[in-house]
């Protein structure tokens, strides 16, 4: 006995299942390393991998006392 309410409920459950499945797939697929593995972790354009990014604390203390 298929009435309109059963068909509507089945359609809503199907759409909800597709939505949840797609969200789960996107979440899990974002964890997979693809092209990011080949990319450098430090971009050459920003210069972030220079010799040292540490701040000399003595020079900061001298600057703040002036």
Residue 52, in any domain of the structure:
no
Q: Distance between CA atoms of 64 and 62, rounded to whole angstroms?
A: 6
Give mean pLDDT, residues 28-41.
69
Q: Distance between CA atoms of 62 and 55, rounded to whole angstroms?
A: 13
Residue 23: its pLDDT value, please?
96
**pTM score, two decimals?**
0.47
For the record, the structure tokens of 9 come out as 């409920």
* Domain boundaries, position 21: 1-34
Residue 53: its pLDDT value, please?
53
Domains identified in the chain, total number: 1
Cβ pair 31, 37 in contact under 8 A: no
**Alpha helix (H) ranges present in the chain?**
4-29, 57-65
Q: Phi, psi (5° rounding) for residue 61?
A: -65, -40
Whether the pLDDT of residue 18 is over 70: the answer is: yes
Q: Distance between CA atoms of 38 and 17, rounded to whole angstroms?
A: 35
Residue 59, in any domain of the structure:
no
């Amino acid at each position: 006995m298929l009435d309109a309410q059963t068909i509507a409920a089945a359609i809503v459950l199907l759409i909800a299942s597709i939505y949840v499945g797609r969200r789960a797939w996107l979440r899990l697929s974002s964890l997979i390393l693809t092209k990011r593995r080949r990319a450098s972790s430090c971009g050459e354009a920003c210069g972030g991998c220079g010799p040292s990014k540490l701040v000399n604390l003595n020079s900061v203390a001298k600057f703040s006392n002036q």
